[in-house]
């Protein structure tokens, strides 16, 4: 009798359809970092691959290798965190596409490709203002020059040019996009005309036509997680695909004790700031302890009944995030891996 996270794969598919229709003709890259935002990598990738998703964004090499095993040889798999020659070699052997955002990594990947006897597939990353990683504009021409040299030698292939943007304000995003365009012109001036261009994540890919280019990297909206402070699920046409339920453990004077706590990933700061769905309608969450929590009583409350903590019919991850000044992704990925996942 514990908490359960149930993932609705039909809802996932509807979200995928909405996102793909919206961004077409740009291609969807489904971002599956953090165990597919804690929805479970294997079922999510399996389902998406079966329903026509051709690109996956996997963040690190370990995840990329898992996606390769699940999605098969034809999937495009993009990883953008590569550490050292050894890891680059494993990625190249599995035909992962590598996002490279600094000169040292470029050299490591080249060494790994030579050792593997295979051409590494690269997406060059320009820093358009986030300063997370990515080649600074002043170093970009030399970086592109070196990548082109390695490409001419058959060591690497330049597949794409990409960046990541804040999606916090249109003005900042516009400035980032101008830097991205300048970086593209440097690559095109070298005669590299047919690179895959990708810049936008969920919010910009939905709202801003000019940011879609050839491909968009979308995680949040595919899982039905809207942007905090942004348009609602009804406007976007997506819905949260996960519901989190937990059982009634005991009835007491203080309230009804429910079997989910901060150790399961429910932030204790949400005590007093959220409600849960009970068989008698919504009730206030009074307090969240480590192993359990306390909810305002309802008539007919009984041990073993289940209440809905998050998802369809009650708060979405982003609703909860907004109650604590965070973002929906954070709430979603905090659900402990020890909480049982079910799929339907």
Ligand X SMILES: *Cc1c(COP(=O)(O)O)cnc(C)c1O
- Which residues here bind ligand X, judged by CB under 6 A? 31, 33, 57, 80, 164, 201-202, 217-220, 329
Give percent helix, percent strand, percent coil of the chain, each to the nearest 5. 40, 25, 35
For ligand X, the closer of residues 226 and 308 by Cβ is: 226
For ligand X, the closer of residues 166 and 323 by Cβ is: 166
Give the CA radius of gyration of the chain. Answer: 22
For ligand X, the closer of residues 202 and 316 by Cβ is: 202
For ligand X, the closer of residues 39 and 164 by Cβ is: 164
For ligand X, the closer of residues 33 and 47 by Cβ is: 33
Q: How far apart are CA 158 and CA 226, in angstroms?
A: 33
Smallest distance from ligand X to CB 31, Å = 4
For ligand X, the closer of residues 222 and 270 by Cβ is: 222
Smallest distance from ligand X to CB 329, Å = 6
Are 64 and 94 within 8 A, CB to CB? yes
The contacts of residue 5 (CB under 8 Å, 6+ apart) are 38, 39, 242, 243, 244, 335, 339, 340, 341, 342
Smallest distance from ligand X to CB 217, Å = 4
Strand ranges for the chain from DSSP E: 4-7, 27-31, 55-60, 76-81, 97-100, 120-125, 156-162, 196-198, 215-218, 242-251, 256-258, 275-278, 281-288, 293-295, 306-310, 340-343
Q: How far apart are CA 245 and CA 227, in angstroms?
A: 23
Cα distance from N-terminal residue to C-terminal residue, the chain: 19
- In 3D space, the residue among 317, 321, 300, 282 whose CA is nearest the CA of residue 5 turns out to be 317
For ligand X, the closer of residues 33 and 212 by Cβ is: 33
Count CB atoms within 10 A of the CB of residue 301: 19
Smallest distance from ligand X to CB 202, Å = 3
Smallest distance from ligand X to CB 225, Å = 7
Count CB atoms within 10 A of the CB of residue 103: 14
Smallest distance from ligand X to CB 260, Å = 25
Smallest distance from ligand X to CB 57, Å = 6
């Amino acid at each position: 009798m514990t908490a359960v996270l149930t993932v609705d794969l039909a809802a996932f598919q509807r979200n995928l359809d909405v996102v793909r229709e919206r961004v077409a003709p740009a291609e969807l890259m489904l971002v599956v970092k953090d165990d597919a935002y804690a929805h479970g990598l294997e079922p999510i990738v399996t389902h998406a691959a079966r329903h026509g998703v051709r690109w996956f964004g996997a963040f690190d090499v370990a995840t990329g290798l898992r996606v390769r095993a699940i999605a098969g040889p034809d999937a495009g798999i993009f990883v953008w965190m590569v550490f050292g020659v050894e890891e680059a070699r494993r990625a190249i052997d599995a035909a992962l596409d590598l996002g490279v955002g600094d000169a040292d990594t470029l050299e490591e990947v080249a060494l790994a490709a030579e050792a593997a006897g295979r051409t590494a597939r690269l997406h060059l990353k320009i820093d358009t203002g986030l300063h997370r990683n990515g080649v600074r504009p002043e170093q970009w021409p030399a970086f592109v020059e070196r990548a082109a040299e390695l490409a001419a030698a058959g060591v690497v292939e330049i597949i794409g040019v990409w960046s990541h943007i804040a999606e916090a304000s249109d003005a900042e995003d516009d400035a980032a996009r101008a830097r991205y365009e300048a970086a593209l012109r440097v690559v095109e001036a070298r005669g590299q005309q047919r690179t895959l261009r990708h810049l936008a994540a969920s919010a910009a890919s939905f709202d801003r036509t000019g940011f879609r280019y050839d491909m968009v990297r979308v995680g949040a909206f595919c899982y039905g997680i809207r942007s905090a402070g942004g348009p609602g699920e009804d406007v976007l046409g997506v819905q949260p695909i996960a519901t989190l339920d937990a059982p009634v453990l005991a009835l007491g004077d203080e309230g009804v004790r429910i079997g989910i706590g901060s150790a399961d990933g429910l932030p204790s700061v949400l005590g007093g700031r959220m409600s849960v769905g009970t068989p008698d309608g919504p009730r206030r969450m009074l307090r969240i302890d480590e192993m359990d929590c306390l909810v305002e009583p309802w008539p007919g409350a009984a041990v073993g009944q289940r209440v809905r903590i998050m998802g369809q019919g009650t708060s979405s991850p982003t609703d909860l995030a907004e109650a604590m000044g965070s973002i929906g992704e954070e709430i979603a990925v905090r659900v402990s891996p020890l909480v049982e996942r079910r799929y339907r």
